[in-house]
Amino acid sequence: MADPATPELLDPAVDKKYRSFLSVEHQTELGVFRPRGPGELLTIDERWKHRLAAAGLLPLCRLVEARSMENPEVAARHFYFDRSLIAALVDRLRSETHTLHLPCGEMTPTLQDVAYLLGLPCAGAAVGVIDMQADWISDMHQRFGPVERKADAPPYVPEFLSDARGPTKKWILQFQPAYIHPHANAYAVSRHLEAFLLWLFGWVMFTSGQGHLVARTLVPYARLIADADAEDVPQFSWASVVLAATYRALCDACTKKEPLATFAGCPLLLQLWSYEHFSICRPVVDRSPYPEEWYGEPNEDAPTMASMWCHRWVYTERQISFIMYIWM
């Protein structure tokens, strides 16, 4: 029995809340998770490249871009989220330590993983909640309403921006890169970049249970980057906040019992981390070298460790059921 002065780190009372406990002790049939992810892939306008690189977001943008990094003329492969794999990882989590308890020991995603896989910066200012003005919706209309778009773009529908919790995806996609006017001025380019960043925040980096919108507290960060001078883009520690959001999502998910519950945070990070560290059910992809110009001198637009899993040709997409994952 543990000394009361030095209690055990793992609390047995917490066990009864875990999905894994219910599955083993009560034979409860548990389902997999529904990870939030972008249902569409967007391209990156070349006029955004410098500010995205300065903000440390360009490598991640390239991972979810609609065209291949090695051949821009070829459409990128849409990343497949393995729901069974994510559920199996969640069921091995201990929320007290934020670690996955595996047959080989304890492991967990770290800041190094976020930096190597997603290319996000660890250094910079902390990302926290910024208070929004009560009239933030009208402010968004004033800034985005006059923006000129392509002639063949659908008519602007301001009513899509009607949820007080944040901009909706329908509203954001009205300013997707495909609708930028070919002769757009700097202001229009910045507003389209702001909309793209909101899409990146809401459906790649910080997904939530509210799949139709992005939190309004992220609007100021998108605006700060979009409106910054090219040489004075604010620096934020995106790696730490993405990791924190994923830890929180893991802790929330490990006690969810409803079928097809939502896995929030950054599911892209969790699955890429599994691919990089475990051979179980990761796809067999082309491992040939990248073009020679990508090696040598530091390149802000070079691939990350995850580019292979997101963009390379897949020879075999191995998929197994959730039950088979449990016994591995």
| Better-scored residue on pLDDT, 67 or 139 | 139
> Phi-psi category of 223—alpha, beta or left, where left has phi over 0 and alpha has psi -120 to 50?
alpha
> What CA dihedral angle connects 134, 139, 145 and 149, to 10 degrees?
-110
pLDDT (tens digit per residue) in 123-137: 999 999 888 788 889
Distances (CA, A) of 141 to 66, 138, 144, 149, 325: 28, 5, 5, 15, 48
| Better-scored residue on pLDDT, 91 or 25 | 91
Length of the chain: 328
Q: Compute φ and ψ for 199, nearest 5 degrees.
A: -65, -45
* Entry pTM: 0.88
Give the Cβ contact number of residue 294 at 10 Å. Answer: 15
pLDDT (tens digit per residue) in 169-211: 999 999 999 999 989 999 999 999 999 999 999 999 999 888 7
